[in-house]
Amino acid sequence: MTTPAPAVIDAADLTNFLADTFHAAGCSQAEGRRIAENLVEANLSGHDSHGVIRTPRYLGWLKAGNLFADREVEVVTDAGALMILDGGFGFGQTVGPQAVCRGMDRAKELGVSVVALRHAGHLGRIGAFAERAAAENIVSVHFVNVAGSVLVAPFGGSERRFSTAPVAIGVPGAGGAPVILDFATSLVAEGKVLVASKGGKPLPEGSLVGPDGKMSNDPSLLYGKIDPTAQPNSRNGEGALVTMGGHKGSGLAMMCELLAGALTGSGATGPGYDRIYNGMLSIYMCRDRFGAEDDYAQELRRYVDYVKSAKPTVEGGEVLVPGEPESRMRAQRTANGIPLSADAWAAISGAGQDLGITPPQPVA
Ligand code: NAD
């Protein structure tokens, strides 16, 4: 097989290709499409790290029996406003939405709900859940950890102790755009190191720390020597990612581990796990229980406009609110296609070809 050049792929073509690929690998047609749509949507939102680049890994986990097709969440505890659910290591694109739907339904009934999801396959871009809740006028807060993925050094340390433990908060837009904050507590998400290791966008300086305590942006500190023909394995590197925001981000990462890992019963990050999976503690609050929609809409708009009206630091710059970069990127990439580096496209198209699925022709 010749190595493809960097490619721009139409989002709908890419979705169809990946849906067929996951179906050929053993997922039902519905699940294959759900996974494909979720991954492509992450690329459309500009988060290539949590998009289609994950395909070979997901397929590898499925084949190895670390991830299971077509799982239904198991209800461990149903105590009204609190539900504890076990994802049974099913695809995060399946058990994640199941947990979110249950949490939203319960919040609509009671005003508020808390859902502890344990043992979920990789949940991808957590902000997608916050967007889904916001679209139904529900405020949501999500704390996530990734047991088995010890990648991040605590503040002041040069050895890994945390996962990239993301947090997402979504506030409904009251007829306008919602405000969606969604980030990894590491300075950069692991997937961004994956993208950089495959020739994509380089990492900001100081994203990683070496075993000697020196800051760097070299992906090999996470993956060891980069071999373009092999899947990078984060267990091979000697360094660590650093947290965002110094001691504050380090504290937030620790809370994600305790809330999403320890409290849910999913397990806080550490050595000795043979799988990469997510735990997630989510809180859902029905917006309409907090007062009149018009008052909220007016105050939200006033405040968003007030924030955005701050004088930019650079001439021609602009203040954005969380969620804006993603919605702008979605509009642009839906129209023009999704750009993928040569390595990423080779790995993704090759994974489909191995299962007998023909990859789409790039649009550029
Ligand atoms: P990031 O650093 O790109 O930050 C994204 C957040 O910052 C968004 O809310 C975005 O709207 C906001 N933002 C970006 N630029 C902005 C600007 N100029 N002005 C105002 N706001 C701005 O995100 P990240 O840390 O690289 O995380 C990427 C994705 O990785 C997230 O979707 C996260 O959920 C996901 N993730 C998932 C897992 C998992 O295990 N499932 C683990 C880690 C990260």
Q: What is the pLDDT of residue 271?
A: 86
Closest residue (by CA) to atom 3 of ligand 1? 183
Instruction: Output DSSP code: residue 54.
Output: G
User: Residue 3: pLDDT band by 50, 70, 90 thresholds?
Assistant: low
DSSP per-residue codes, 110-139: HSEEEEEEEEEPP---THHHHHHHHHTTEE
Average pLDDT over residues 138-144: 98
Q: What is the pLDDT of residue 185?
A: 97
User: Residue 263: pLDDT band by 50, 70, 90 thresholds?
Assistant: very high
Proportion of the chain in helix, strand, coil states, percent, rounded to 5:
40, 20, 40
Express each pLDDT in 75-95 by its tens digit.
999 999 999 999 999 999 999
Q: Rounded to whole angstroms, what are the CA distances from 245 to 222, 249, 252, 253?
A: 20, 5, 9, 11
Closest residue (by CA) to atom 10 of ligand 1? 322
Cα distance between residue 238 and residue 235, in whole Å: 8
User: Residue 191: pLDDT band by 50, 70, 90 thresholds?
Assistant: confident
Q: 205 C-alpha to center of ligand 1: Å?
A: 18
Q: 198: helix, coil or strand?
A: coil
Q: 47: helix, coil or strand?
A: coil
Q: What is the pLDDT of residue 254?
A: 98
Cα distance between residue 46 and residue 334, in whole Å: 11
Tokens coding 356 = 């007998």
Average pLDDT over residues 325-330: 98
Output the ligand 1 site: residues, CB below 6 A.
Answer: 47, 49-50, 122-127, 144, 146, 164, 166, 168, 180-184, 188-189, 192, 278, 320, 322-323, 325-326
Tokens coding 193 = 């190191």
207, 196 in Cβ contact below 8 A?
no
Q: Rounded to whole angstroms, what are the CA distances from 171 to 7, 45, 151, 323?
A: 35, 18, 30, 10
Cα distance between residue 324 and residue 180, in whole Å: 8
Across the chain, what does the average pLDDT equal? 95
Express each pLDDT in 194-226 by its tens digit.
878 878 789 999 999 999 999 999 999 999 998
Closest CA to 191 of 81, 341, 91, 73: 341
Cα distance between residue 143 and residue 155, in whole Å: 19
- Does the pLDDT at position 2 exceed 80? no
Q: Rounded to whole angstroms, what are the CA distances from 329 to 122, 165, 247, 305?
A: 23, 24, 31, 21
Q: Which residue has the tokens 């993603």?
A: 326
Identify the bridge partners of residue 145 per DSSP, sorted by sequence position: 279
Helix H, strand E, coil C: the string for 238-284 is CCEEEECCHHHHHHHHHHHHHHHHHHCCCCCCCCCCCCCCEEEEEEE
Closest residue (by CA) to atom 40 of ligand 1? 146
Tokens coding 119 = 């043992």
Look up the pTM and report it.
0.95
Express each pLDDT in 105-128 by its tens digit.
999 999 999 999 999 999 999 999
Average pLDDT over residues 148-158: 95
Q: 166 C-alpha to center of ligand 1: Å?
A: 8
Q: What is the pLDDT of residue 4?
A: 59
User: Residue 282: pLDDT band by 50, 70, 90 thresholds?
Assistant: very high
Instruction: Output DSSP code: residue 358.
Output: P
